Amino acid sequence: MTTDYRFLKACRREQVDCTPVWMMRQAGRYLEEYRALRAQHSFLEMCRTPELAAEVTIQPLRRFELDAAIIFADILLPLPGMGIDLEFAQGEGPVIGNPVRSAADIDALRPLTPERDVPFLAEAIKMVRREIEGKVPLIGFSGAPFTLAAYVIEGGGSRNYVHTKRLMYGDPPAWHRFMEKMSDVVSVYLAYQIEAGAQVVQLFDSWVGTLGPADYREYVLPYSQRVIESIGGAVPVIHFGTDTATLLTSMKEAGGDVIGVDWRMDLGEAWALLGDDVGVQGNMDPVILYAPPEVIEAKVQAVLDGAAGRAGHIFNLGHGILPTTPVEHAKVMIDAVHRLSTR
């Protein structure tokens, strides 16, 4: 039964009865039941307590007909084990106390030992698998080497990535050494999740769209490729980024069974560019969920029209669902995907 999930079939580009759908950040602040738990625990505490992580992973499945669960975690969770001080400041997102700026900083980073550094994650994955077995598959994930490196170098989010690019352009040997370390950490981290029971993994290269195609190929592609090759086909890989209209074919070259596309590109054009030998995930603008239901349904139809019924489409938002999204609008979207795509 578990191999027959609609979601996994789409990952393998097999025919499905209707298009599978999930939402990035579907376990999150737009749900009042999530906010109620979050009021009692810090974000990292929730990630590191298997019972809490499992509970919020499952919350959205109680409300919506989602086709996959994604383990509750953060793309930056591999970092503390490397010796990086990670905190989540109130309303400000991740803050890194000891940003990496020099070759010496890079050399001081430790490899990840998942059993020591992220044992809670394997436990949470196992708990969720037991609860959802036979219903939907479970996605594991990590930040991709570039996106992790950018956070670690900048010390948090960034607009222009000045420190990151300064290292990349100014000291390429240090950059490449850093990215090698990051690739190894991400590979080990994903393998650990797969071993624990993740049935698909998504590699989030969320901020790679700050680079042009030549820089992507020189400074990023080999490392994302190394991570994806390390998985060796054990489970399907979704390779995701935003702002990647000019990077898509290079991202495909780096690897992935399914390439994530954001809303800035027409889905049909993206797929034409990528070719039919890969799946596509996306690509509705998360902000459309603030629009009236009839607009949401029209936009769902437009995305499905772009996919044109091809095998290998996974419906998703182009980026994570926003915290102030009306929850009933998420349901409108999810139900519309299934209804409007029924073969």
* Residues designated catalytic: 25, 29, 38, 74, 151
Among 131, 180, 285, 335, binds a copy of itself (CB under 8 A): 285
Is there a contact between 279 and 10 (Cβ–Cβ < 8 Å)? yes
What string marks each residue from 287 to 306 as x (binds a copy of itself by CB under 8 A) or -? xx-xxx--x------x----
Cβ contacts of residue 57 below 8 Å, gap of 6+?
Answer: 27, 69, 70, 71, 72, 124, 128, 138
Q: Which of 70, 73, 211, 258 binds a copy of itself (CB under 8 A)?
A: 211
Q: How far is the CB of 133 from a copy of itself (least distance, A)?
A: 36
Q: Looking at 42-50, 59-67, 99-107, 162-170, which segment touches a copy of itself (CB under 8 A)?
A: 162-170
Kindly indicate which of the ranges 50-58, 129-137, 176-184, 210-218 contains the residues binding a copy of itself, using the contact rule CB under 8 A: 210-218
Structural contact between residues 170 and 110, judged by C-beta atoms closer than 8 angstroms: no
Q: Is 29 in the site for a copy of itself (CB under 8 A)?
A: no
- Interface with a copy of itself includes 218 (CB under 8 A)? no
Told to check if 72 binds a copy of itself by CB under 8 A, we report no
Token pair in block for residue 107? 């050399």
Give the contacts of 290 (CB within 8 A, at least 6 positions apart).
324, 325, 326, 329
**Residue of 49, 230, 246, 301 interacting with a copy of itself (CB under 8 A):** 246
The per-residue DSSP string of 156-220 comes to B--SS-HHHHHHHHH-HHHHHHHHHHHHHHHHHHHHHHHHHT-SEEEEEETTGGGS-HHHHHHHT
Q: Binding a copy of itself by CB under 8 A: which of 35, 110, 130, 166?
A: 166
Give 95's strand partners. Answer: 87, 156
- The residue range among 34-42, 54-62, 63-71, 155-163 that interacts with a copy of itself, by the rule CB under 8 A, is 155-163
The residue range among 2-10, 65-73, 190-198, 212-220 that interacts with a copy of itself, by the rule CB under 8 A, is 212-220
Quote the CA–CA distance of 13 and 189 in Å, as a whole number: 26
Between 58 and 295, CB nearer to a copy of itself: 295
99, 119, 209, 222: residue in contact with a copy of itself (rule CB under 8 A): 209
282 in contact with a copy of itself (CB under 8 A): no
The 313-317 sheet, strands edge to edge: 69-70, 138-143, 200-205, 237-241, 258-260, 279-284, 313-317
326 interacts with a copy of itself by CB under 8 A: no
Shortest distance (Å) from residue 287 CB to a copy of itself: 4
Question: Shortest Cβ distance from residue 74 to a copy of itself (Å)?
Answer: 18
Q: Give me 195's structure tokens.
A: 């071993």
Please identify, using beta-carbon distances, which residue of 131 and 243 lies nearer to a copy of itself. 243
Nearest approach in angstroms of CB 165 to a copy of itself is: 4
d(CA 96, CA 192): 24
With H, G, I as helix, E, B as strand and everything else as coil, classify residue 135: coil
**Cα dihedral across residues 277, 12, 191, 43: positive or negative:** positive
Quick one: CA dihedral 288, 289, 292, 293, positive or negative? positive
In whole angstroms, how close is the CB of 241 to a copy of itself at the nearest point?
Answer: 12
| The residue to which tokens 């990535």 are assigned | 161
Q: Which of 21, 118, 138, 265 binds a copy of itself (CB under 8 A)?
A: 265
Going from the C-alpha of 56 to that of each of 12, 62, 89, 196, the distances in angstroms are 28, 10, 20, 18
**Whose Cβ is closer to a copy of itself: residue 291's or residue 311's?**
291
69 contacts 136 by C-beta, under 8 angstroms:
yes
Judged by the rule CB under 8 A, the positions of this chain that interact with a copy of itself are: 160-162, 165-166, 169-170, 209-215, 243, 245-246, 263-266, 269, 285-288, 290-292, 295, 302, 322, 324
